[in-house]
Structures are given as C-alpha cells and as structure tokens.
Structure 1
C-alpha cells in the first residue's frame, strides 16, 4: 500500500469515529471523567451525517494540497467518502471491507476494515466503548475559533501512536470542523459544509461495485 493510500485511509476513516483530543499537559483522563462524559453526549447525538467537505493538507506547516468532496457516514461503521477532481477518488467502508478506488491509476485497493483501523485508536470511539487508550481534553477557545462561531473544541490523543484529532462544534452542537495531526508532520484540516444529521441514507450508498477492467490490489489477509 502506498503512502498516499495510507494517508487517504487514515484521514477518511477518521469520520467513521468522529473523535480525538490531546492530553495537553493533563496526562491520561479517566474515561468516565466529566470531560469524557460531555464528549460522549456530543457524539451520541450523531447517528448519521452527510454533507460536503473541504480538506487542506499540511506537511510541517506548509500547505501541500486542497481537496473537496462529498461524504456520508452512518455510525457505527459505514462511510462513503468521495474526493472530487483533480484528485478524484472514492472510499467506501461497508462494515467489513474498505474499498478505495483511484480512477487516475485505474485501481481498486481492498482492505479488511478491522485491520485498516486496528492501529487507529479511533476504532474505540467508533464503537463508543473503552476510552482508556486516550487522553481527552476540552480546549479553551481562542479568538480565531470564536471568530468562526466555534463554541466548543475537544482534542483526543491516542496513547499508543500519539495521533491527535481536534473536533470543533458550533452553538447548535453540530460538528463543523476537524483537524487530524499525525506523528509524521502531516496535518489535515477539514471543514464540514451543508451537513445534515440523522437523516436516512440509502443502504446502496455504502455498497461499492468494482468497475470493469480495473486493477485490484487486495490487501486482505496480507501479512
């Protein structure tokens, strides 16, 4: 799997889980703490979410790419994520398998969904179960956040890999932005636009049909 595929999967599978935050000098937070409970309440409101996204990718604080597209997610484990041209791609997670189609190289890469997320602490948030692997903090808002009507921000940090995800909510408790930072100097900033929460999504949205004539890179059961 190329680094490009890894980046796409890491960032888009984030939406399956909707969560992350940094310990920010607080150390590990008990998963049953007040902060954890408050964040759980926010996330519990989201059964499904659809909309558009704008993604800006930075490497060592230098902007390297901007992407736009459409998404649909249904908790706990379904995701459709389409990036528009010129970097067109489609990622579908159907609960068992992750399908990533890159039409530029005419290839579909296939991954076990469990394996694709095994190293990602967001899997715990996806199932809304044990948060003991994370430090969770509610951030103090700065002037920049308040200027764009952000009312609450949270950071979740994985103890094992150090990845961080900042979640930003508006006054209506709607998720409007996310920032995913890894340990390799890459940061992806997402703006979520025209979102609709808890509306019915056709089951067909989370079914991927392999186009005729494309190469298949099946990474399932590959050691």
Structure 2
C-alpha cells in the first residue's frame, strides 16, 4: 500500500515542482534584484529621480538577507482557493534561497547560486535543475540585471507601501507582481500568472539583513535517494 501511495506521489511530483519553483523563483528574483538593482555609487543619483521604478530599485538594494515564516494561498481566476501551504524561507544575496514547506507536505528547495535542489523526503527523491533554467520564460526575471533595457520590460507603479510590477510582454508566465513593504521590511508578495491564477505569500517572524549561515544553502544527497538530474536538459 505504501508503494502505491509513493508511486502516486511520484506522478504528482512534476506538477508540485512547477508550483514550488514558480513561487520560489519569484522570491529568488527579488533577492537577485536586490543585489543588482542599483549600485551604491549611483544610489544618490537615482534618488534624485523619484520614479516608482527607481524607488523600487533603491528599496530592493537594501535587502541583503532575509529569513521568515511564510503562509501561501493559491487561488484561481474566480477567487476559489486551490492550495494552502506554510513553511520557512531563508535568502541571501547573491541568488541563494532555502524554501522549506512544512504543510501540507514536507518539501525542501535549495538554490545555491548555480543549482536548484528540490527534495521530497516522502518519495526519497531529489530533482536537480540549473538555476538559470527555472527563470526561463519568466520576463520578470529579466530584472536580475541592472541593465536599464531589462527594467524597461516592466512597468512599476507605487501605491503607498505596495509596488505593482507589470510585464509588458503579453506572453509572460508571470504577468504581474505586487511587492509590499513595512518601511524597508518585505512583508507580502502576490503574483498573477497568465491563467490569472494568484499566489499570495504573507511573511511573519521576519529577520532582515541578519547573519545567515552558508550551510543552509547546501545539500548532501542520501545514498538511498532517487536523483532526477535535469541539468543537461
């Protein structure tokens, strides 16, 4: 019976990986943004030009590391809730993420800067992906560069404590992203995809710009784990 349950879980793994990586990519993109959005030398100059886009660049430039609990709700175009989850995340520039889901299932996703490791302890499997590949077909990830042409692919609006980032590409997988702050502290993220499915992340117990151990972003694969290495694809 356990084998049948594991097999069923295994068939759902790709769909779950897609959802997890979609949410994780959004968070990871913000850390990449914070690292590349604006240099210290140009901060004063950008501050003179108080457009919403420049305000977001400056805000993100202050985000170096981040740890928090998260609750996530995914809903369809009608507002019906499809999935709820909760867990913890830790981020550190440049490009490192630890995304750990505790409910409804235990999963772990680690991005170490070059490789993404998606670990499912129940089926004892780890899926290995190039970190650059999960950002493909996501125009919002073009913002990882401080190249102004990349920022020109989106429209940024400032609505009090919220920044609304909208892709100009009608074929984008993520069409809009709402980033909410309390002062300089990141508190909420909401994304909308091309099918109008919404993902809301709410953060609590936040520790921003505190020391983070590099060991959190590494993973030793147990000998009994199945390895699905997709880095050559």
Q: TM-score, normalised by structure 1?
A: 0.82
Aligned partner (choices 50, 55, 70) of residue 67 of structure 2: 50
- 2:46 aligned partner: none
Aligned residues: 199
1:81–1:67 distance in 2 versus 1, CA, 3 Å: same
Q: How does 1:28-107 map to 2 (within 5 A)?
A: 34-60=51-77, 61-107=79-125
Shift, 1:33, TM fit: 7.0
Deviation readout 1:60-114 (Å, 9 max, x if unpaired): 2111221111111012300000000332110000010011012232221111001
Unaligned 5+ residue runs, structure 2?
Answer: 1-12, 34-48
Higher helix share: 2
Aligned 8 A contact 1:72 1:81 in 2: yes
Which runs of 5 or more structure 1 residues have no equivalent in the other structure? 21-31, 140-150
Distance (whole Å) between structure 1 residues aligned to residue 167 and residue 204 of structure 2 = 27
In structure 2, the CA distance between the partners of 1:221 and 1:43, relative to structure 1 (3 Å rule), is: same
Tell me the CA shift for residue 211 of structure 1: 2.4
Q: State how far apart, in whole Å, the 1-side matches of 2:80 and 2:184 are.
A: 31
Pair 86,203 (structure 1): closer, same or farther in 2 beyond 3 Å: same
TM-score normalised per structure 2: 0.79
Task: Determine if contact 1:75/1:126 at 8 Å carries over to the other structure.
Answer: no
Mapped pair 1:157 → 2:170: no
For the 8 Å contact 1:110–1:220, the answer to whether it is kept is yes
| Alignment correspondent of 2:43 | none
Q: Which has the higher contact order (CA 8 A, sep 6+)?
A: 1
